[in-house]
């Protein structure tokens, strides 16, 4: 089995992106599956195109895209991606789109990863985690939606989804008191546990009231 894991480049004036830092430190094998990592741009259209190109090149069984969600204190696998963009800031090429991502696409796609089992595995590894029901309306949501659209229309046997990580601890040094953050080492441990659950095909037991910590 092969797992493709993508991480975004830095954006918004930051010098690092903890998603990319954590992805690049992942082990090359998790739960018996080969792990392939790819950096993708924070540019509408080009980010999802890079993911699709990596799928075509590596033919993975599972795809996990990872991004930063500043303000969250937990690692949060996303439940759903929506067919809409409303960029609060310009991307890395100055684009700031508003509107549907796919004119003829469905309004939303649910991730096909076992997000609840992934949270359980992450917590069992000692890392805070919770399911998220919104991936926002910036590039992270676009990548999740376009990934699922690609898998549904071109690679129906491949499972995929998106995971958000908090700010890295070193980023929080220059931010306001109380800014949520996590060490990159802890992110690596959490993502490794989550990928292991996704690879193993863990049963996804849905529990009432499960959501993000926010």
- Say which DSSP state 107 is in: S
Residue 37 CA, chain-centre distance (Å), reads 13
What does the longest C-alpha to C-alpha distance in the chain come to?
46
Q: Give the C-alpha separation, 165 to 190, whole Å.
A: 9
Q: Give the C-alpha separation, 143 to 18, whole Å.
A: 17
Instruction: Look up residue 158 and give its two tokens.
Output: 């491949």
* Integer-rounded Cα radius of gyration of the chain: 16
Identify whether 65 is a catalytic site residue: no
Q: Of 52, 78, 142, 146, which one is the catalytic site residue?
A: 78
Q: Give the C-alpha separation, 110 to 9, whole Å.
A: 25
DSSP per position, 3-26: EEEEEEPP-TT-S--HHHHHHHTS
Q: Give the C-alpha separation, 22 to 187, whole Å.
A: 6
Q: Of 122, 140, 149, 155, which one is the catalytic site residue?
A: 140
Determine which helix (DSSP H) or strand (DSSP E) holds 193, and give its type and residue range.
helix 184-200
- Say which DSSP state 174 is in: T
Identify whether 58 is a catalytic site residue: no
SS3 state at 76: strand
List residues with catalytic annotation: 78, 140, 164
């Amino acid at each position: 089995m092969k797992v493709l894991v993508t991480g975004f480049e830095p954006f918004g004036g930051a010098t690092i992106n903890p998603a990319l830092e954590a992805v690049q430190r992942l082990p090359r094998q998790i739960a018996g599956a080969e792990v392939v990592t790819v950096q993708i741009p924070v540019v509408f259209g080009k980010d999802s195109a890079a993911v699709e190109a990596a799928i075509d090149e590596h033919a993975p069984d599972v795809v996990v895209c990872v991004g930063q969600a500043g303000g969250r204190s937990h690692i949060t696998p996303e439940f759903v991606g929506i067919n809409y963009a409303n960029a609060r800031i310009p991307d890395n090429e100055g684009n700031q789109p508003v509107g549907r991502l796919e004119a003829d696409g469905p309004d939303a796609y649910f991730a096909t990863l076992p997000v609840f089992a992934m949270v359980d595995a992450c917590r069992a590894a000692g890392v805070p985690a919770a399911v998220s029901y919104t991936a926002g309306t910036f590039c992270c949501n676009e990548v999740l939606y376009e990934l699922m659209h690609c898998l549904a229309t071109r690679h129906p046997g491949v499972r995929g989804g998106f995971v958000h990580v908090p700010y890295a601890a070193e980023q929080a040094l220059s931010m306001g008191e109380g800014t949520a953050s996590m060490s990159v080492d802890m992110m690596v441990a959490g993502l490794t546990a989550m990928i292991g659950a996704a690879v193993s095909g863990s049963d996804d037991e849905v529990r009432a009231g499960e959501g993000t910590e926010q």
